[in-house]
Amino acid sequence: MQVHPIHYSERHAALQGKRLIAFDLDGTLIDSVPDLAAAVASTLNELGLSAPSEMEVRNWVGNGAPVLVERALTWALKAAPEPALLQRGYDVFMEHYGAAPNSLTTLYPGVTQALQALHQQGLTLVLITNKPERFIEPLLRHFGLLDYFTLCIGGDSLPEKKPHPLPLLHAARHCQVPPEACVMVGDSRHDIAAGKAAGFTTLALPYGYNHGEPIESSHPDLVLSSLTELLATPLKTPGID
Ligand SMILES: O=C(O)COP(=O)(O)O
Ligand SMILES: [Mg+2]
């Protein structure tokens, strides 16, 4: 079957005058919790502790891998873990997650089409995640998204991570785009807080991970139901219904 490209007429109103779009990764482009939860479960089992459900892990994602491991250990022990156990837990988690970062992970609907169209429209796309940097490239490559991004920043790439504005300001400076021409697209309050602090326009997606809270509580500039909403009306390809 022949697949026809979809052509989009204009940019979404929220993108008028914008030159750079920063995307969050987990909960925005990819539903990564199934693999994160499996790695957390294997980690706790290896340490002789009981494993949490995927639902529990979903609410712990957002502040990077060290905090995810700390939340998991605190849940299993019902107390704050000692620094040595925390370090061991982190090392074991990185091994397990690194061995299978994309077995159960899926792309959210419309992600590829949206990135492709925005890239074609000449916008600079960057990725800003709190996930450790080493996982970014293999995941983006696996899903065929790597070439859309000019720059990728992980949670351990710079001295500060989201909700701090540093990674966003670093990306804007690196790409020579003023913050007022930049947009942050994300699923969590950390994306929105970082975006506001950096002077970016903030767009939120409600389907990801936000510690169990509605993303509207963070007062983003706009909430979209999916990334395809970032695209303006599709133009009909001549001769195709
Ligand atoms: O790794 C996390 O905790 C969250 O990653 P994200 O910033 O891509 O949502
Ligand atoms: Mg996220």
Write out pLDDT tens, residues 55-76: 999 999 999 999 999 999 999 9
Q: Sign of the CA dihedral 142, 145, 149, 155?
A: negative
Listed residues 81, 99, 117: the one ending a domain? 99
Rounded Cα gap, residues 145 and 29, in angstroms = 10
Residue 187 assigned as binding residue: yes
Residue 185 reports pLDDT greater than 60: yes
User: Does residue 12 lie within any of the structural domains?
Assistant: yes
From 105, 107, 68, select the one nearest 90 (Cα to Cα).
Answer: 68
Ramachandran area for residue 53 (φ above 0: left; ψ -120 to 50: alpha; else beta): beta
Pocket test for ligand 1, best of 61, 134, 156, 185 (most atoms within 8 A of CB): 61
Listed residues 55, 80, 99: the one ending a domain? 99
CB of residue 24 inside a 6 A radius of ligand 1: yes
Q: What is the CATH number of the domain that holds 201?
A: 3.40.50.1000
pLDDT band at 13 (very low <50, low <70, confident <90, very high): confident
Q: How many domains does the chain have?
A: 2
CB of residue 105 inside a 6 A radius of ligand 1: no
Q: Average pLDDT, whole number, for the chain? A: 93
Give, for 131, the enclosing helix (H) or strand (E): none
Rounded Cα gap, residues 37 and 117, in angstroms = 32
Q: What is the CATH number of the domain that holds 77?
A: 1.10.150.240
Rounded Cα gap, residues 69 and 64, in angstroms = 9
Ramachandran area for residue 27 (φ above 0: left; ψ -120 to 50: alpha; else beta): left
Whether 132 and 84 share a structural domain: no
- Is the model's pTM score more than 0.90? yes
Residue 9 reports pLDDT greater than 60: no
Residue 191 bears catalytic tag: no
Between 152 and 2, residue with greater pLDDT: 152
pLDDT at 5: 55
Residue 233 reports pLDDT greater than 80: no
The interface predicted TM-score of the complex, written ipTM, equals 0.98
**Which of 5-14, 50-59, 98-107, 211-220 is predicted least confidently?**
5-14
User: Does residue 168 lie within any of the structural domains?
Assistant: yes
Listed residues 44, 76, 99: the one ending a domain? 99
Structure tokens at 63: 């502040």
E strands, 58-215, are: 106-107, 124-128, 149-153, 182-186, 201-204
pLDDT band at 231 (very low <50, low <70, confident <90, very high): confident
CB of residue 101 inside a 6 A radius of ligand 1: no
Whether 21 and 39 share a structural domain: no
Domain of residue 174, residue span: 7-31+106-235
* Model confidence pLDDT, tens digit, residues 99-127: 999 999 999 999 999 999 999 999 999 99
E strands, the chain, are: 7-8, 20-23, 30-31, 106-107, 124-128, 149-153, 182-186, 201-204, 222-223, 234-235
Pocket test for ligand 1, best of 23, 26, 152 (most atoms within 8 A of CB): 26
CB of residue 130 inside a 6 A radius of ligand 1: yes
pLDDT at 98: 97
